Amino acid sequence: MRKNFLLSKELDTSALKRGFAIPVHVQEIFSCYLSGGRLAHGEKRTVTIFLDNENFSVKLSSSGFNVVANPNHSEQWQILYGKNSPFAKRLREIFSAGQKFFTLYPTDIKDAFYIEPEIACDESTLEKLLDLPTLTDSQVALIERFGLIRYRKLNRKIGEDLKRNYRYRCQICGQSVGEFYGVDLVDCHHIAPFSQSLNNDQSNLLIVCPNHHRIIHAANPTFDRKRKLYLYPNGREEILQINEHL
């Protein structure tokens, strides 16, 4: 399970038919992924959930309880959908038997989230799963679907020029990780997420190795432009070992 999940929930009858709650302690971070910020009391919005390569529209709702009569009552947020909605039907198709869970993750798109199924296993089940000779995939297939695709439109030459300028070395660790294999292997990372900033200028780009690129997206550190370093949530600081353009 990745670390940037919002919540993990056991599937119950309510979740399979009507909806599920967004816990109070999750609401603040959940709000960061909403285009309109935190929900107002009693407000309802439409959000998108991606499940099994399909997208579904559902309602995000803040309950409209009587604040005067219940001044100490916490705000109650829920993801709501009807029993016969396409999303509920798809949930029941995926979670048809057994004790199972799902994990809700954010995406780079505001008001859009995705669900990843999780299966709870006891030790005996896990041992069977680890019996490698029996691991076969009877569902493997190539599936062709039609739909809208969101893609980036940007000038890749800016990033490619920076890669060459740094001789395909990571600005954070200073390493050329592909050199041992005779390949040039570095990534362009947007300091301010491109999906939000639409900024592809060199002032918003870092050249990083694939390992650091994945770590940055997983840990979501803060970039200190003045000190030219990343500050991670656990307190670790990583200064740029190489910097010729920021």
Per-residue pLDDT tens over the stretch 40-96:
888 999 999 998 888 999 999 998 667 666 667 678 899 999 899 999 998 888 877
Residue 230 corresponds to which amino acid?
A: Y
Q: Shortest CA distance to 45 belongs to which of 126, 138, 111, 133?
A: 111
Per-residue pLDDT tens over the stretch 16-38:
889 999 988 888 889 999 998 88
153 CB-side CA count, 13 A: 2
Instruction: For the chain, list the domains and their CATH numbers.
Output: 7-134 (2.40.330.10), 156-239 (no CATH)
Residue 183 corresponds to which amino acid?
A: V
Structure tokens of 111?
Answer: 């008001």
- In the chain, helix, strand, coil percent, each to 5? 25, 25, 50
pTM score of the predicted model: 0.48
pLDDT at 13 over 70: yes
Structure tokens of 220?
Answer: 């979501």
Cα 43-46-48 angle, rounded to 5 deg: 140
